[in-house]
Chains A and B, each alone.
Chain A
């Protein structure tokens, strides 16, 4: 009888114990790889309509509206066509970016009043993306690709357990000395980032406010980027996201940029 009781207890307890045992903790580099594989803003194979609200320290706001068509042409590298619809002074302008494995990304800007597309520097990673608090570096995630990473203690953001990493970019053109990043454990979305400038001063903070799973993919659909130095904030809302593989590689040309 005692044997039976012991067996039953063992059977009752054993699976439960096995279930609650934490899975092996992935390495920091593995988390970064998953992070790079992701597409939190829909710039790697989606059609997105977005709106950015910019607010300065006096509370004055302005809005930037744009749509994005993107295509991941090789793992980790994408091509992006952006078309701006507001405010009026940039409405109709187009932006083409082709990420390059080696060398600077290729970028072209089309201005409708000049009817002319021009190559713009791919070496402006620290510069603002069309006046927002997101820099090209924040969006292109090269600092994740070319970096050394170390794990920090896991931490929750809200109720979501997150891996916490410290990423030190190795690229000389990175605007940041290091970035602390909180990566949600279940879907590898970045929920929070603290970017420290070259003087190790907290420069910017990114916060995900809403995420959505759409057609099996996760996106950060509402987020905020605060530039602490400028006391400026950008709220980015992806109003609609359509993940797709139907956008072909040959769509990302200057010819198409001019007829957006």
Chain B
């Protein structure tokens, strides 16, 4: 019995030391026994899971310049005498079954027009109002609800209030901010997106008013044709408001090696633009006399408060049918290989509006030496309409769109190519009558990437070719038109950064530049900048030259 005790002691000690105490004392000294549970996945976690443990690593704070703040601690860390470890509460992490997110921004912008009429030339278009001061207050909200991985609902909208103050009469001298001819306020509630999505492993379906971005390019994206554009403030508006989400039925199918997207827009939605009355309206001072005469008649006949609603009536005399008989189908096929992404696009949609005015009517409206046109000058127009004719037609034309984009990266440079062919595309002659032609558009983008979202250096070369150009001169375009666009944004010092957007056409010569200074203070972004446009007659820069201005913006994100 005594022997047994003596013999059992060392075995007991060995048992205690080898299988219990040593592990407690410091399992770190036994790497070979712990090797089964480094960070890699345990092959049989259910069987072999040891209890969860929290350990603090004391005395491991590096010498550092910024003094440490109390770190965000979701759970108090516990240290234990021997190994600094303690059984942790069971980790309850699970993805939420449902999630609701609300985000948005508010923005206040002030734009002061700097466009000067040439001395002694008089007002080239006395009937065309020019807004010398524009103040915009905007609120944008975006809400998203998602349930697990199979459902989401999105809604977003903007509420904006704009004040437009027109330039003063010439006899009142220079603009001082208060002496404008008239001031107009415009309240615009706008439902942006409203759609639901149903997702499965291979198939996603989205139904509703939504934005669908096709193509790769930044400045001009020739394949981005599924949504209408808002052309009423193309340079200073927020990026997410430059396209108008439209009602779409969309399905995305993952084939494994590629993906296919099918889209149907049951009712065509045209671009949003002003015909006259605003600085980015289609009719500008270089418009033909018939157009400014027509504007004069409209302004004389319509109460100023109704001018904005009247824009839609003036934008087209005939829209594509809204009874689902003229839907817009589209499809995209995308694949990636060896670091190269490719997408092919097809859409059977509309282009326009195509403007065709009866020469007799335009002649009547632009009689040389005549004074401002009045309703009596439109008698021939009314007579023609009574006779079943259409002396002024503004409508949309069907066209096929095919395109592709390719994207890849080389070192720190991203290369993208977009190319598109339209079987019919509407161009505008200098007399604002339209010309139709098949057209090709190509964009090559080179972007230097830094990994910082607030740093951007992008250069794009744009090329347009009009296959069957008309004999008469076109507005903005020639048979072959080249353009170069740049987008540069870089932080300079602390919160301050600079930005420059530019668009240059060598022929017809045209230049648009938008330098900007920006400062970020937390969620606040304050920008001060200018927009400058110039160019040869009938170029983009000359046509919209009245938008030369200085601006200031304050935006808060939430």
Contacts and interface: CB of A to CB of B under 8 A. Distances in A.
Contacts of A128: 451-452
Contact of B414 (A47, A121, A214): A121
A160 B240 contact: no
Interface in A65-113: 72, 85, 87-93, 103-104, 106, 109, 111-113
A171 interface: no
A190 B449 CA distance: 30
B103 A92 contact: yes
B254 A253 contact: yes
Contacts of B451: 120-121, 124, 127-129, 136
A211 B52 CA distance: 11
Nearest to B91: A214
Interface string A8-37: 100110111001001110100000001101
Interface string B43-76: 0010011111111111111111111110111100
B69 A61 contact: yes
B98 interface: no
Contacts of A16: 13-14, 17
Contact of A123 (B7, B49, B409): B409
A158 B88 contact: no
A192 B212 contact: no
A19 B14 contact: yes
Interface centre among A44, A114, A232 (most CB of B within 10 A): A114
B28 interface: yes
A71 B136 CA distance: 47
Given A11-B10, A38-B38, A222-B77, A231 B71 contact: no
B37 A217 contact: yes
Contacts of B71: 53, 209, 222, 224, 235, 237
A244 B558 CA distance: 33
A161 B39 CA distance: 18
A108 to B, nearest CB: 9
A165 interface: no
Contacts of B22: 19
Given A119-B414, A231-B65, A87 B38 contact: no
- Place the interface of chain B in its size category: 35 or more
Contact of A228 (B65, B254, B453): B65
Contacts of B517: none
A146 interface: no
A2 B188 CA distance: 106
A211 B55 contact: yes
B199 interface: yes
Nearest to A206: B62
B30 interface: yes
A199 to B, nearest CB: 19
Given A189-B39, A218-B38, A114 B57 contact: no
Contacts of B558: 88
Contacts of A205: 62-64
A12 B14 CA distance: 9
A92 B66 contact: no
A55 B69 contact: yes
B62 A207 contact: yes
Contacts of B66: 55-57, 59, 226, 231-233
A212 B88 contact: yes
Contact of A53 (B69, B238, B409): B69
Contact of A37 (B40, B213, B408): B40
A45 interface: yes
A62 interface: yes
Given A119-B409, A216-B50, A218-B38, A157 B254 contact: no
Interface residues of A, number: 111
B40 A124 contact: no
A240 interface: yes
A103 B340 CA distance: 13
A209 B62 contact: no
B371 interface: no
Interface in A139-188: 157-161, 184-188
B523 interface: yes
Contacts of B69: 53, 55, 61, 235
Nearest to A233: B66
Given A55-B66, A233-B66, A15 B10 contact: yes
Contacts of A219: 39
B407 A119 contact: yes
Contact of B239 (A15, A90, A113, A233): A113
A16 B13 CA distance: 8
A118 B199 CA distance: 22
B412 A123 contact: yes
Contact of A160 (B17, B28, B45, B49): B28
A242 B94 contact: yes
A186 B64 contact: no
Given A57-B66, A118-B216, A209 B60 contact: yes
Contacts of B83: 159-160
A37 B77 CA distance: 26
A159 B68 CA distance: 22
B183 to A, nearest CB: 31
20 contacts: A12-B9, A15-B17, A19-B22, A23-B29, A57-B66, A88-B557, A91-B101, A116-B213, A121-B411, A127-B451, A158-B57, A186-B26, A224-B64, A235-B68, A237-B74, A245-B41, A250-B254, A254-B334, A255-B204, A255-B259
Given A207-B57, A233-B64, 16 more contacts: A88-B105, A88-B557, A89-B525, A92-B101, A112-B142, A114-B239, A121-B411, A121-B412, A122-B339, A123-B409, A186-B28, A213-B51, A226-B65, A235-B68, A250-B254, A253-B254
